[in-house]
């Protein structure tokens, strides 16, 4: 019996496109051929238009076939055991331009390794950052992160090193590391992909953080919509404990750190850090007033380092290669790499990790390839439901924190949703308010009531009832929500609304003349 190893993603996107059924079909076909088939389930490479993408190793390189479905199983086995030729062949996977042109400091192993195998992880360079950190004192680790210029990848972009110093400097009998894996922004899936495809990098980042700030317990607050990520994380954590990567004696250092996964219960607002902490305490996910900062009084009132998944996944490379190496990527105060997620109506959708500073147009047109249905792009929304809508004439803006902020937009969590020319921006602006009605925690009035008033006002503008007056009311309402809301939910809902009005006034029945001064 001849032996064959195939690599098939377990990533949710691949599964949603038929990877599990394909796996079953491959096993059936292999049995028929008396072929000793091993299928290694990996993460996704992030080229989602090719999923399910099956890979096989040939002459030391991985060659791919995609998108393949169960009806291709027989011909695929014929091809990979024969001359390799198949109509779905995409050649050497790492030579595909979409992948080749990326800088993968975070996602390098995603799609390559078995995500729950410690052995595979270490064979591919895993834990080098942790090993270095274990030889440093905690202040030096915090300084390394500070020097790297890493900023929080969840959306706020706060300098990570300052948070680390604050938590490290706080005196307490217990401190916590809390990972915000409540990735609720539409258009984003980087957290999901790394948790499904390379969870040990998150575990490593958390462990380094724990050692640096003096925390022995870590929690991953994971949204309930991600069952695959939950399964992979729990398996990886169990294997990490067995391998001595977690527990009372991390890698024989005498230092303790352990991790638990907590599953949320369907609330967008729990992506806000204080709301997340309340939820993790088993309470309603209502936002807390700040101060006190979670860094000083977080989970159960103890100093807590709350970070987004990607922020912590950036840490191993910083420790391994040094702050200076990391800082060399990016531009200005936006250092390092960002996994951009290209989504919506897009031809080549997926994850593209690269240094900050490339143009929006490159992501939308060159890399994303424009729309899926071939219609012209009319708008993109950047950074989730609380992000700005931008028209093509602004596509030459560079993707970094400062440039985006200067143009009333934000990088957010790096998600880019592409819309074709059938989009109605009034409907999208209305939806921003609708979403806020649905997801507001209800604690502060500007958000709870303002969002309801926003939907009503939008309807009056659409139906041309006291049009001019209601356009003024809308602006008033947006200002009030920005100034008066307790957190970003109410405070940033006006961003999609006002950007839509500003850049697409015709959809609101407003004469574009108002825009001439822009």
Between strands 337-344 and 415-420, the pairing is: parallel
In angstroms, give the least distance from the CB of 147 to another protein.
Answer: 33
Residues 6 or more apart whose CB falls under 8 angstroms from that of 289 comprise: 486
Q: Rounded to the nearest whole angstrom, what is the least distance from the CB of residue 500 to another protein in the complex?
A: 12
Q: Least separation, in Å, of the C-beta of 410 and another protein?
A: 15
Q: Per-residue b/e over 311-326, b at no fewer than 16 CB within 10 Å?
A: bbbbbbbbbbbebeeb
**Min dist. Cβ of residue 304 to another protein (A):** 12
Residue pair 414/338 in contact by the 8 Å Cβ criterion: yes
Return left, alpha or beta for 114; rule: phi > 0 is left, psi -120 to 50 is alpha, else beta: beta
C-beta of 384: minimal distance to another protein in Å? 8
- CB 230, CB 261: distance < 8 Å: yes
C-alpha–C-alpha distance, residues 76 and 57, integer Å: 14
Tell me the C-alpha distance between 259 and 239, whole Å.
12
Minimum CB distance to another protein, residue 381 (Å): 6
C-alpha pair distances (Å), 344 with each of 225, 228, 417, 420, 433: 19, 22, 5, 9, 20
Which CB, 149 or 344, lies closer to another protein? 344
Pick 205 or 271: Cβ nearer another protein? 271
Q: Compute the least distance from the CB of residue 244 to another protein, in Å.
A: 24
The encoded tokens of residue 63 equal 């060659």
Q: At closest approach, how far in Å is the CB of 276 from another protein? A: 10
DSSP-derived secondary structure for 71-98: GGHHHHHHHHHTT---TTEEEEGGGSHH
Q: Which is nearer to another protein, 326 or 419 (CB)?
A: 419
Q: How far is the CB of 132 from another protein (least distance, A)?
A: 30
Closer to another protein at the Cβ: 54 or 267? 267
Residue with smaller CB distance to another protein, 16 or 465: 16
Residue 59 or 438 having the CB closest to another protein: 438
Task: Indicate the residue among 80 and 190 with the shorter CB distance to another protein.
Answer: 190
Cβ closest to another protein, residue 186 vs residue 407 = 186
- Give 379-390 as a DSSP string: EEEESSTTSPEE
DSSP 207-250: HHHHHHHT--EEEEEE-TT-HHHHHHHHHHHHHHHHTTSSBSSG
325 or 431, CB closer to another protein? 431
Task: Tell me which residues touch another protein (CB under 8 A).
Answer: 12-13, 15-17, 48-49, 51, 183-189, 192, 219, 224-227, 260, 262-268, 279-286, 341-346, 349-351, 372, 381, 385, 415, 417-420, 423, 428, 431, 435, 438-439, 441
Q: How far apart are alpha carbons 61 and 97 in whole angstroms?
A: 16
- For another protein, the closer CB: 147 or 235: 235
Closest alpha carbon to 272 in 416, 403, 447, 409: 447
Inter-CA distances, 177 with 141, 215, 230, 298, Å: 15, 6, 18, 10
Please state the closest distance from residue 30 (CB atom) to another protein, in A: 23
| Non-local CB neighbours of 487 within 8 Å, separated by 6+ positions | 269, 272, 274, 275, 287, 444, 447
Computed on alpha carbons and rounded to an integer, the radius of gyration of the chain in Å comes to 24
128: closest CA among 105, 146, 151? 105
Looking at the chain, the number of H-run helices and the number of E-run strands are 21, 16
CB of 434 to another protein, least distance (A): 9
We find the least distance from the C-beta atom of residue 55 to another protein, in angstroms, to be 19
Residue 20 Cβ vs another protein, minimum distance, rounded to whole Å: 9
Q: Taking a C-beta distance cutoff of 8 angstroms, is the pair 268, 442 a contact?
A: no
Find the distance separating the first CA and the last CA of the chain, reported in whole Å: 71
Contact 213, 138 (CB under 8 A): yes
Give 266 or 509: the residue with its C-beta nearer to another protein: 266
Query: Nearer to another protein by C-beta: 309 or 312?
Result: 309
Choose between 159 and 392: whose C-beta lies nearer to another protein.
392
The candidate with the shortest Cα–Cα distance to 55, out of 115, 113, 116, is 113
């Amino acid at each position: 019996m001849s032996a064959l190893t195939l690599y098939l993603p377990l990533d949710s996107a691949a599964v949603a496109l038929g990877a599990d059924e394909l796996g079953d079909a491959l096993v059936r076909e292999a049995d028929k051929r008396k072929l000793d088939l091993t299928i290694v389930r990996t993460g996704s490479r992030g080229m989602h238009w090719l999923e399910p993408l099956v890979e096989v190793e040939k002459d030391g390189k991985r060659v791919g076939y995609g998108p393949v479905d169960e009806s291709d199983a027989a011909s695929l086995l014929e091809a990979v055991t024969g001359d390799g030729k198949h109509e779905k062949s995409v050649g050497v996977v790492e030579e595909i331009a979409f992948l080749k042109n990326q800088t993968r400091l975070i996602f390098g192993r995603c799609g390559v390794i078995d995500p729950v195998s410690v052995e595979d992880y270490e064979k591919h360079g895993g834990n080098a950052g942790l090993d270095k950190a274990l030889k440093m004192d905690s202040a030096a680790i915090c300084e390394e992160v500070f020097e790297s210029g890493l900023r929080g990848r969840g959306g706020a972009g706060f300098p990570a090193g300052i948070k680390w110093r604050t938590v490290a400097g706080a005196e307490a009998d217990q401190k916590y590391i809390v990972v915000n894996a409540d990735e609720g922004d539409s258009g984003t899936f980087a957290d999901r992909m790394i948790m499904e495809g390379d969870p040990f990098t998150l575990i490593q980042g958390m462990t380094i953080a724990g050692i640096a700030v003096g925390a022995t317990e870590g929690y991953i607050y994971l949204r309930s919509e991600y069952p695959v990520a939950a399964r992979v994380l729990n398996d990886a954590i169990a294997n990490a404990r067995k391998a001595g990567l977690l527990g009372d004696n991390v890698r024989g250092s005498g230092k303790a750190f352990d991790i638990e996964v907590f599953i949320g219960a369907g609330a967008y607002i729990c992506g806000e850090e204080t709301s997340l902490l309340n939820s993790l305490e088993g309470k309603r996910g209502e936002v807390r007033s700040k101060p006190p900062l979670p860094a000083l009084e977080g989970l159960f009132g103890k100093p807590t380092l709350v970070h987004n998944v990607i922020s912590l996944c950036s840490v191993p490379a910083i420790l391994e290669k040094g702050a200076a190496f990391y800082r060399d990527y990016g531009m200005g105060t936006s250092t390092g790499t960002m996994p951009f997620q290209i989504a919506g109506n897009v031809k080549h959708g997926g994850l593209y990790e690269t240094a900050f500073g490339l143009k929006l147009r490159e992501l939308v047109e060159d890399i994303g390839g424009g729309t899926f249905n071939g219609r012209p792009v009319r708008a993109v929304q950047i950074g989730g439901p609380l992000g700005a809508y931008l028209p093509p004439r602004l596509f030459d803006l560079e993707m970094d924190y400062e440039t985006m902020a200067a143009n009333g937009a934000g990088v957010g969590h790096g998600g880019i949703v592409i819309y074709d020319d059938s989009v109605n921006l009034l409907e999208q602006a209305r939806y921003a308010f609708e979403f806020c009605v649905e997801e507001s925690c209800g604690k502060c009035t500007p958000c709870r009531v303002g969002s309801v008033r926003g939907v009503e006002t939008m309807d009056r503008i659409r139906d041309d009832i006291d049009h001019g007056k209601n356009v003024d009311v809308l602006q008033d309402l947006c200002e009030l929500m920005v100034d008066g809301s307790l957190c970003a939910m109410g405070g940033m809902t006006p961003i999609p609304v006002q950007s839509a009005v500003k850049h697409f006034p015709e959809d609101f029945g407003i004469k574009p003349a108002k825009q001439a001064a822009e």
